[in-house]
């Protein structure tokens, strides 16, 4: 019986001793975040010159745009991104090298309807959501393209953005 009691006391002493190793007594600054593993943020600030040099992609801001910011999303595939304000709306324009049209917009909404495919000399599709978000996507030169807005999206607004961006984008060969 003495052996069982001694083993129990020793076991409890070890448990309580180890439990005290996490945060020193009186240390109120330690948090759970210190013990977590951080993941690298794939979004990196960039410039249009760096995007052109690293990815061979030409991204020019549309006439009338303000607050233009460039970044690269270093996933597979790499997504080049330009965020800007146009006519009071926050817009996001993305380009990625792909084998076919892929949704690279990052817009995760329940869309009101199937994509409206517009065809003329070039094809693009437009989707809008009940929440007011919208995206226009197209494929050209081995790249997927998208331009999106999170509020006040209309087919006309997305067509205007498409027309402004389509002529200002390209891929260096």
Do 75 and 115 belong to one domain? yes
Rounded Cα distance, 82 and 71, in Å: 6
Parent domain of 24 = 2-35
C-alpha separations of 92 from 51, 81, 98, 130 in Å: 16, 7, 19, 19
The structure's pTM equals: 0.73
Does position 31 have pLDDT exceeding 90, yes or no? no
Q: What is the pLDDT of residue 123?
A: 78
Please state the domain count of the chain: 2
Do 24 and 54 belong to one domain? no
Q: What CATH number is attached to the domain comprising 147?
A: 3.40.1000
Average pLDDT taken over every residue of the chain: 79
Do 71 and 130 belong to one domain? yes
Do 48 and 30 belong to one domain? no
Q: What is the pLDDT of residues 94-129, one digit of tens each?
A: 999 999 999 999 998 888 866 666 655 567 899 999
Q: What is the pLDDT of residues 59-98, one digit of tens each?
A: 999 999 999 999 999 999 999 999 999 999 999 999 999 9
Do 114 and 61 belong to one domain? yes
Q: What is the pLDDT of residue 172?
A: 53
DSSP 5: H
The lowest-confidence range among 6-20, 51-65, 72-86, 143-157 is: 6-20
């Amino acid at each position: 019986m003495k052996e069982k009691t001694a083993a129990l006391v020793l076991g409890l002493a070890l448990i309580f001793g180890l439990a005290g190793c996490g945060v020193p007594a009186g240390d109120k600054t330690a948090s759970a975040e210190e013990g977590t593993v951080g993941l690298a943020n794939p979004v990196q600030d960039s410039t249009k010159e760096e995007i052109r040099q690293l990815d061979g992609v030409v991204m020019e801001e549309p006439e009338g745009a303000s607050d233009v910011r460039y970044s690269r999303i270093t996933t597979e595939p790499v997504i080049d991104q330009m965020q800007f304000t146009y006519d009071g709306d926050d817009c996001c324009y993305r380009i990625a090298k792909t084998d076919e049209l892929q949704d690279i917009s990052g817009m995760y909404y329940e869309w009101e309807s199937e994509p409206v495919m517009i065809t003329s000399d070039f094809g693009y599709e437009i989707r809008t959501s009940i929440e007011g978000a919208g995206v226009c996507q197209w494929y050209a030169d081995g790249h997927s393209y998208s331009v999106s807005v999170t509020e006040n999206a209309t087919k006309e607004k997305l067509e205007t953005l498409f027309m402004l961006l389509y002529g200002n984008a390209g891929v260096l060969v």
